[in-house]
Amino acid sequence: MTQSMTGARMVVQALKDQGVEVVFGYPGGAVLPIYDEIFQQNDIRHILVRHEQGAIHMAEGYARSTGKVGVALVTSGPGATNAVTGLVDALMDSIPIVVLTGQVPTFAIGTDAFQEADTVGITRPCTKMNWLVKDTAKLSETIHLAFHVARSGRPGPVLIDIPKDVQFADAHYVPREKIKPSHYQPKVKGDIEQITRLVEMIETAERPVFYTGGGVINSGPAASQLLRELAEATGFPVTSTLMGLGAYPASGKNWLGMLGMHGLYEANLAMHGCDLMINIGARFDDRITGRIKDFSPNSRKAHIDIDASSINKVVHVDVPILGDVGHVLEDLLRIWKSRGRKVNKAGLATWWKQINEWRAVKCLTYKPSSTIIKPQYALERLEALTKGMDRYITTEVGQHQMWAAQFLGFEGPNRWMTSGGLGTMGYGLPASIGVQIAHPEALVINVAGEASWLMNMQEMGTAMQFRAPVKQFILNNERLGMVRQWQELLHGERYSQSWSESLPDFVKLAEAFGCKGIKVSDPKDLDDAIMEMIRYDGPVIFDCMVEKHENCFPMIPSGKPHNEMLLGDDDTQGVINAKGAVLV
Amino acid sequence: MSPLNIKQGSSSHSAYDLRDPHAEVIESHTLAVIVDNEAGVLARVIGLFSGRGYNIDSLTVAEVDHTGHLSRITIVTRGTPQVIAQIKALLARMVPVHDVHDLTEEGPSVQRELALFKVAGKGEHRIEALRLAEIFRAHVVDSTLESFVFEMTGTPEKIDSFAELMRPLGLREIARTGVAALSRGV
């Protein structure tokens, strides 16, 4: 027996059925009926944001740190268009979120009504799937399907556009367990023949490397556990993309650190020199591969991915395995064990000897200073003082993000939230709030640059209102550091528009929001200041004045292979002098 | 580590390496895509091609299963084998897509297109046009004293060659439906 109810009540009921506890949103004319229903219940908590982009990033932070689907609710027109950046961010990084948008009534669609926008048209390429629901009878089914699509296969954002008259009209509610199964059922089990081929390669490889990515994290904690077991049992080195940090612990003995454009020397050279590359849930992004023609030229490559379109997209692989990382690793381990747990011990010993020589280069070395806080030093101290705590890190986008990836260690999955694919400045602050809402007792730190942070700083109001004690750790170099670095290296030191003029006084800004502001500029005061930030029971804006001209190394310039890495400022000579023509 | 040894004028100031690393032979493929017949599904498929810079040479779409609410989209596209494989994978992962068939790869197929030709002329030209139409098994579906409209079905190549022959005889307009295709046998 199904119940008859309004579309608006149906929305709330469907969210409850899906186990939703929190919705991030902002009301407006076209979603008023849904907000009225939210007002009349207590099961779902609503977090009022200050800008719709913030709502999406919060839902993303919530989703990434819990493994659940994040939910956002915004109004029509500007509400929906403001959500677009967050949708693309979630699409690029495969984050499962469901976004509900209000729409003008069905009879007004197409008339250029007030706050009307073609939301499904605008967001079609920005979502994994979207729907305009014109009939209340189809609303509950669509919402349940949306959750299924968001979390199945390669996860991603979905959007449901609900006209206001559909919210008011009555229809029968279809509960979650009553909907007919969707034909959309991505394959999770990998092909056993291909997995066996990979096992054979694992048994003989002399210079293997695991190249892991966000797919391991998306596959769930069990996949991370299997990766650890596989790495320990085989003794193979592990590197990871920005998105995959934490799947294998930073303290693990096989850990090489992050790879890619600002990845570690040993990780990139291992990728370049390996004879067997095992890609687990990564996608050969251009920040990883550098020049494709010279990418890992002498290796056989296997690729485990749940998205068939990621396989052979940019790099041709020898062993394609379509399936969920967790399922495939389980089969892989079982088959490898049943065949006698063989590896090429002699080959591996030589390989590790080589890797340790690369490690000895200590590529993260920087010139220390006793008078100025080096950004790397600030992160080293943050890492040392928060190690072992129940800690979650989000970041904005730029140099600070790369340094955070290099200098902070992640021991488990879902602890690191960063905008990888889209590179969205302004992601970190709202994301940190989303994480904190999901983990109220945890220490949540947004490692930020001052320029990125300003892009969504209004969300400090949200943090205050909902008592989310997020720590905004701003490495303030009064520059758009990464832009400045490229201009120095590639545009003849012409620093076009890359400095932060007229910055606010962050301590006063914190006071204005009603939270705590801490400013530090002397390396001697740094530890005490960080401890003060951690101990403070509430949001903190931490203004850490750092060296203004520090560059982020190692660096593989775009279009260069892994073995042509710049390790420090000394390597960049000649780049600056190359007049005009510069390859990136 | 070696510094960047960059030749003058070797590339533009782009953050990305814009050269195509997989420039290979271009193939033409006919894809049959079975989709839910719902609002926006065609826009979704076309958006994939325009968004990622793939070619559409021809496209037809119509509902083929009314009770199952399914449409069949036939797309003729061009690209390197890698691009064709990408297109198929990207289509297959779309939520409203049920099936993707590569008729070019899956064995022999029948491909047909319907076309209408308006040919205007007098005297010898008019007679010649009618004679050629007979050879090509085109039907006259409209006639005035100075013009014909021919209807013809056939492969795109056949339609192309008929159009070539009609051009000097007073071809004014062509309307083509695009390719409909099915695999041979069961």
What is the 3-state secondary structure of A355-374?
Answer: HHHHHCCCCCCCCCCCCCEC
pLDDT in tens, A169-208: 999 999 999 998 899 999 999 999 999 999 999 999 999 9
Question: Which residues of chain A are within 8 Å of residue B7 when distances are taken between CB atoms?
Answer: 581
**Catalytic residue selected from A258, A277, A457, A482:** A482
* Burial bucket for residue A71 (CB in 10 Å: 0-12, 13-18, 19+): buried
**Catalytic residue selected from A13, A128, A147, A164:** A164
- C-beta separation of A69 from A147 below 8 A: yes
With a CB-CB cutoff of 8 Å, which residues 38-77 of chain B face chain A? 39-40, 43-44, 47, 51
Q: What SS3 string covers A211-267?
A: EECHHHHHCCHHHHHHHHHHHHHHCCCEEECHHHCCCCCCCCCCEEEECCCCCCHHH
Does B167 lie in the same domain as B132? Answer: yes
Model confidence band, residue A3 (pLDDT cutoffs 50, 70, 90): confident
- Amino acid identity for residue A346 in this structure: A
Lowest mean pLDDT among A232-236, A362-366, B14-18: B14-18
Contacts of A343 (CB under 8 A, 6+ apart): A202, A203, A205, A234, A235, A236
pLDDT of A561 reads: 86
pLDDT in tens, A261-311: 999 999 999 999 999 999 999 999 999 998 888 999 999 999 999 999 999
| Nearest-CB residue to B14 (from A121, A186, A584) | A584
Fold: same for A4-178 and A375-545: yes
CA distance A303 to chain B (A): 15
**Catalytic residue selected from A5, A24, A52, A92:** A52
Over residues A91-98, mean pLDDT: 98
pLDDT at B22 over 60: no
Domain membership flag for residue B86: yes
- For residue B166, what is the domain's CATH number? 3.30.70.1150
Q: Which helix (H) or strand (E) holds A277?
A: strand A276-280
The Cα–Cα gap between A201 and A500 comes to 52
pLDDT at B1 over 90: no
The Cα–Cα gap between A147 and A19 comes to 11
The Cα–Cα gap between A504 and A125 comes to 37
- Which sign does the torsion angle of CA B6, B8, B13, B18 carry? negative
Does B126 lie in the same domain as B82? Answer: no
A322–B contact, CB cutoff 8 A: no
Length of chain A: 584
The Cα–Cα gap between A434 and A509 comes to 22
Question: What is the token pair recorded at B181?
Answer: 């295709």
- C-beta separation of A239 from A259 below 8 A: yes
A164 is catalytic: yes
pLDDT in tens, B124-158: 999 999 999 999 999 999 999 999 999 999 999 99
- C-beta separation of A517 from A511 below 8 A: yes
pLDDT at B4 over 70: no
Question: Which residues of chain A are within 8 Å of residue B99 when distances are taken between CB atoms?
Answer: none
Question: Which residues of chain B are within 8 Å of residue A285 when distances are taken between CB atoms?
Answer: none
Question: Which residues of chain B are within 8 Å of residue A560 when distances are taken between CB atoms?
Answer: 4
Q: In a 3-state reduction of DSSP, which class is residue A168?
A: helix
Domain membership flag for residue B158: yes
Helix axes A399-407, A481-490, angle to 10 degrees: 100
Over residues B87-116, mean pLDDT: 96
pLDDT of A522 reads: 98
Domain boundary among the residues B56, B74, B102 is at B102
The Cα–Cα gap between B140 and B117 comes to 10
Over residues A244-251, mean pLDDT: 98
Domain boundary among the residues B39, B73, B102 is at B102
Over residues A447-469, mean pLDDT: 98
- C-alpha atoms less than 13 angstroms from C-alpha of A509 in its C-beta half-sphere: 20
Domain membership flag for residue B119: yes
pLDDT of A584 reads: 38
Among A577, A559, A555, smallest CA distance to A568 is for A555
A115 is catalytic: yes
What would the CATH number be for the domain defined by A375-545? 3.40.50.970
Q: In sequence order, which ranges of B11-61 are alpha helices (DSSP H)?
A: 41-51
Q: Tell me how many domains chain B contains.
A: 2
pLDDT in tens, B111-121: 999 999 999 99
Question: Which residues of chain A are within 8 Å of residue B23 when distances are taken between CB atoms?
Answer: none
Given an 8 Å threshold on Cβ–Cβ distance, is A125 in contact with B51? yes
Among A205, A198, A272, smallest CA distance to A236 is for A205
The arrangement of secondary structure in A4-178, i.e. its CATH architecture, is 3-Layer(aba) Sandwich (3.40)
pLDDT of A574 reads: 53
CA distances, A79 to each of A50, A54, A119, A166, A455 (Å): 11, 11, 10, 18, 17
With a CB-CB cutoff of 8 Å, which residues 375-434 of chain A face chain B? none
Q: Which residue of A has its CA nearest to B4?
A: A575
pLDDT in tens, B61-74: 999 999 999 999 99
Q: Which helix (H) or strand (E) holds B85?
A: helix B81-92
Does B152 lie in the same domain as B94? Answer: no
pLDDT at A581 over 60: no
Model confidence band, residue A25 (pLDDT cutoffs 50, 70, 90): very high
CATH number (3.40.50.970, 3.30.70.360, 3.40.50.1220, 3.40.50.2300) of A192-359 reads: 3.40.50.1220
pLDDT at A583 over 50: no
Q: Which helix (H) or strand (E) holds B95?
A: none
Domain membership flag for residue B12: no
CA distance A185 to chain B (A): 9
List the beta strands (DSSP E) in A397-483.
416-417, 443-449, 471-476
The Cα–Cα gap between A382 and A393 comes to 11
Among B80, B18, B93, B16, smallest CA distance to B48 is for B93
Structural domain of B179: 109-183
pLDDT at B14 over 60: no
Does B173 lie in the same domain as B131? Answer: yes
* Burial bucket for residue A197 (CB in 10 Å: 0-12, 13-18, 19+): middle
Residues linked to residue A233 through DSSP beta bridges, in sequence order: none
A501 is catalytic: no
Beta pairing, strands A45-48 & A238-240: unpaired
The Cα–Cα gap between A508 and A450 comes to 15
The Cα–Cα gap between A271 and A278 comes to 10
| Nearest-CB residue to B89 (from A128, A149, A308) | A308
pLDDT of A80 reads: 98
Question: Which residues of chain B are within 8 Å of residue A564 when distances are taken between CB atoms?
Answer: 1-2, 4
The Cα–Cα gap between B120 and B116 comes to 13
| Nearest-CB residue to B3 (from A132, A491, A571) | A571
Residues linked to residue B147 through DSSP beta bridges, in sequence order: B120
pLDDT at B2 over 80: no
Contacts of A528 (CB under 8 A, 6+ apart): none
Domain-by-domain residue ranges, chain A? 4-178, 192-359, 375-545
Given an 8 Å threshold on Cβ–Cβ distance, is A124 in contact with B43? yes
With a CB-CB cutoff of 8 Å, which residues 107-136 of chain A face chain B? 120-121, 124-125, 128-129, 132
Domain boundary among the residues B78, B102, B126 is at B102
pLDDT at A26 over 80: yes
| Nearest-CB residue to A184 (from B3, B44, B95) | B95
- For residue B84, what is the domain's CATH number? 3.30.70.260
Given an 8 Å threshold on Cβ–Cβ distance, is B3 in contact with A121? no
pLDDT mean across residues, chain A: 95
**Catalytic residue selected from A16, A21, A68, A115:** A115
pLDDT at A246 over 70: yes
